[in-house]
């Protein structure tokens, strides 16, 4: 047998160039973290990157809505809601199919400036706080290379939090200071930054539809199927052989299945705030 050297070299190259999440993403450590948001390469007017994610079956999926593209999971959620007449519990159940916002900003960690830029991801509350500071004339552009301000981010992990969810609080520094007095390092920070989306797979429409179908499929060990057959699938096309996603809801009413019943029970005990905090905690998990 002759070795396929070209294939092995390609594999080596792939492994050598594989981006590690830890090289791109920064997660706060327990206690006080001192960081600085820096201008985003290519977008000096806005340092924030808004990305949308689904979290199904303990796995994260980047939503195509992030790039302005159609998302079959989000479409499914909207099709459920469009029929109206949903109970409070059923409406809450649809939230798991609505992508959630995660915002990222390029940062350097004080004391580790030479390690370069990574991206800090945070939820809606922290995003609103940061925007409020920037909108306040007393603070203004906290990312300015020379006259910006550092941030103290205090992080409490879930296991030590009274709410049982990880908590992050921020405080903007009072003093305006440069990113660094080292001109060469400053040039590196402002010009060399990782690509955030190197660590998140970009799924096609059909791939995500397959994810949804699998998530909604009844448990083979205890199947429960509906005798109702929809005339058209949830995507607006005639479909005599409907998929799991198509058959899960019909005419705005839930079709009974182990997945649906369990989801409904879980959703009814969680507030929207709990769901958002759980989503944030998933990203902060070590």
Task: Identify the pLDDT of residue 233.
Answer: 29
Interatomic CA distance for residues 255 and 271, integer angstroms = 23
pLDDT of 112 higher than 80: yes
Contact 106, 38 (CB under 8 A): yes
Residue 124 near residue 276, CB atoms below 8 Å: yes
Q: Which pLDDT value is given to residue 14? A: 52
State pLDDT tens for residues 223-238: 443 322 232 222 233 3
Question: Is the pLDDT confidence value at 17 over 80?
Answer: no
Sequence ranges of the domains in the chain: 19-280
Answer yes or no: is pLDDT of 26 > 90. yes
Contact between residue 163 and residue 182 where contact means Cβ atoms under 8 Å apart: no
Cα–Cα distance, 170 to 155 (Å, whole number): 9
Secondary structure string (H, E, C) spanning 218-282 = CCCCCCCCCCCCCCECCCCCECCCCCHHHHHEECCEECCCHHHHHHHHHHHCCCHHHHHHHHHHH
Minimum mean pLDDT among 8-12, 55-59, 77-81, 137-141: which range? 8-12
Tell me: the pLDDT tens digits for 145-186? 999 999 999 999 999 989 888 899 999 999 999 999 999 999
- Mean pLDDT over 3-9 rounds to 66
pLDDT of residue 53: 97
CATH 3.90.198.10 for the 19-280 domain, yes or no = yes
286 has pLDDT over 80: no
20 pLDDT tier (thresholds 50, 70, 90): confident
More confident residue, 176 or 243: 176
CA 130 centroid distance within chain: 18
d(CA 61, CA 102) in angstroms, rounded, equals 12
Q: Using one digit for the tens of pLDDT, what is the confidence trace for 47-102?
A: 999 999 999 988 999 999 999 999 999 999 999 999 778 888 888 889 999 999 99
**Does the structure show a pLDDT above 60 at 10?**
no
Q: pLDDT by residue (tens digit) across 194-204? A: 999 999 999 99
Q: Please report which residue ranges of 155-242 form alpha helices under DSSP H.
A: 183-191, 205-216
pTM (whole model) above 0.85 = no
């Amino acid at each position: 047998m002759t070795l396929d050297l070209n294939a092995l070299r390609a594999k080596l190259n792939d492994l050598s160039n594989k981006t590690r999440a830890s090289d791109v993403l920064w997660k706060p450590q327990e206690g006080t973290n001192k960081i600085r948001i820096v201008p985003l390469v290519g977008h000096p007017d806005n340092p924030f990157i808004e990305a949308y994610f689904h979290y199904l079956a303990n796995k994260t999926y980047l939503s195509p809505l992030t790039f302005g593209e159609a998302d079959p999971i989000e479409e499914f959620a909207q099709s459920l809601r469009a029929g109206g007449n949903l109970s409070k519990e059923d409406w809450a159940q649809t939230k798991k199919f609505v992508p959630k916002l995660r915002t990222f900003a390029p940062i350097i960690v004080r004391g580790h400036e030479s390690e370069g830029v990574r991206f800090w991801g945070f939820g809606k509350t922290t995003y609103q706080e940061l925007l409020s500071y920037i909108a306040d004339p007393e603070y203004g552009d906290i990312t300015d290379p020379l006259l910006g301000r550092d941030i103290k981010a205090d992080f409490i992990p879930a296991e030590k939090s009274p709410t049982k969810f990880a908590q992050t609080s921020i405080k903007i520094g009072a003093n305006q200071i440069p990113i660094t007095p080292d001109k060469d390092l400053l040039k590196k920070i402002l010009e060399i930054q990782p690509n955030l989306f190197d660590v998140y797979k970009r799924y096609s429409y059909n791939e995500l539809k397959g994810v949804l179908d699998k998530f909604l499929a009844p448990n083979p060990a205890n199947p429960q199927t509906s005798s109702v057959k929809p005339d058209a699938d949830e995507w607006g096309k005639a479909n005599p052989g409907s998929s799991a996603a198509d058959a899960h809801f019909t005419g705005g009413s839930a079709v009974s299945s182990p997945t649906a019943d369990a989801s409904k029970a879980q959703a009814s005990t969680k507030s929207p705030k709990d769901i958002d905090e759980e989503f944030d905690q998933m990203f902060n998990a070590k």
